[in-house]
Amino acid sequence: MGCIKSKRSATSADSEAARARSEKTYLVHSEDGSPRADTALLEYAQKLSEEIMARAVQQWAEVDRRYGDIPYIECDVP
């Protein structure tokens, strides 16, 4: 057990160090000293958001196709 525990703590320390390095890589200080995102990070975020939206629309279309024939009944009770 002690061996596994020590491997886990080393792994978490390594991942924290990697995260700190990646944050330093992607954050660049602007002229006024405030942090701003690197263009590579912004491009990756844009691509990722487009993929998420495409999947969401695809899931919506599948649900609508499957359950679209069920009538919707509005409720008068607030």
pTM higher than 0.75, yes or no?
no
Amino acid 43: pLDDT: 92
CA distance 57 to 75: 27
Vertex 57 angle, CA 47 and 48, to 5°: 15
CA distance 2 to 74: 61
* Domain parsing of the chain, residue ranges: 1-35, 38-69
Below-50 pLDDT ranges, the chain: 1-2, 5, 7-8
Contact between 28 and 36 (Cβ < 8 Å): yes
Amino acid 1: pLDDT: 44
